[in-house]
Amino acid sequence: EKIILQNFRRYKERTEIPLDDLTAFIGKNDVGKSSIIEALNIFFDGGSIKIEPGDASKSGDAKNVIIDVAVSDLPQKLTLDSGAQSTLEAEHLLNADGQLEIHKGYNCAVQRVGAAKIFARAIHPTADGAKELIQKPNKEPKQIIMDRGLEAKCKQNENPSMRQAIYQDVGELQLQEQDVPLNEENGKAIWAAIEKYLPVYALFKSDRPSTDQDSEVQNPMKVAIQKAIKGMDGELAKVTEKIKEQ
């Protein structure tokens, strides 16, 4: 739905760029058209472009280079942590527009830029007893369930079920916009699950002929193949053993 840039190349100030089914960027050379396209490539880890120290705005905050992407049209139910299904709405992971907005922050003030800090910018609970639940590993919400006597109101082997029981028991959640960490503790599992549902992004060059051997063609195909064989480990192991026997 949109990309938001801040402290990235020419985009020192927070700049929101809406996207649609067809979006064209028109402007003079060196005004930042390619930067938008390449920021998306960095965000979706397209492989051909990596973020570097020189990507920080010269007069901006190099320690806080931000690429945000908001998406919609995701499945109503997603398999999140502990293998249980839930919804982004029930987990309070949507922004004020009802979109999943993922915020990636990079420290470009170092010689080699490390992995991004990942957050969901969302309308999320801030009330005592309800805040930061999504980051807690299984044993912590389970203890809260026991302390509150909610055992009969949830499945204790499913984190989403326990979170919903706690939210209902707390009542007034004091929802506010905030950045919910997705690369800390249990947030990592949430992010790993969400990432599977995000769009695939490929960058194609239009100023030369393209062939099936080009990386921009090969990379999306590799992603498609990885998704196709995911979950088939058992079947592939059987084939491997059969080949060994023969």
> pLDDT by residue (tens digit) across 184-216?
888 888 898 888 888 888 777 777 677 777 776
Averaged pLDDT of the chain: 88
pLDDT band at 46 (very low <50, low <70, confident <90, very high): low
pLDDT score for 181: 92
Mean pLDDT calculated for residue range 135-149: 88
* Nearest residue to 125 (alpha-carbon basis) of 116, 109, 140, 136: 136
pLDDT tier for residue 109 given thresholds of 50, 70 and 90: very high
User: What is the predicted pLDDT for the residue at 216?
Assistant: 67
User: 217 pLDDT exceeds 80?
Assistant: no
Helix (H) or strand (E) holding 219: helix 215-229
For the stretch 90-99, pLDDT in tens is: 999 999 999 9
pLDDT band of residue 103 (cuts 50, 70, 90) is very high
Whole-number pLDDT of residue 85? 85
pLDDT tens digits, 218-239 = 777 777 777 777 777 778 888 9
CB 117, CB 191: distance < 8 Å: no
Is the pLDDT at 83 greater than 80? The verdict is no
Entry pTM: 0.79
67 closest CA partner among 104, 33, 27:
104
- Measured distance CA(60)–CA(205) in Å, rounded: 30
Q: Which long-range contacts (CB under 8 A, 24 or more apart) does 12-19 make?
A: 12/57, 12/59, 12/60, 14/66
Res. 47: pLDDT tops 70: no
Q: Find residue 67's DSSP bridge partners.
A: 5, 104
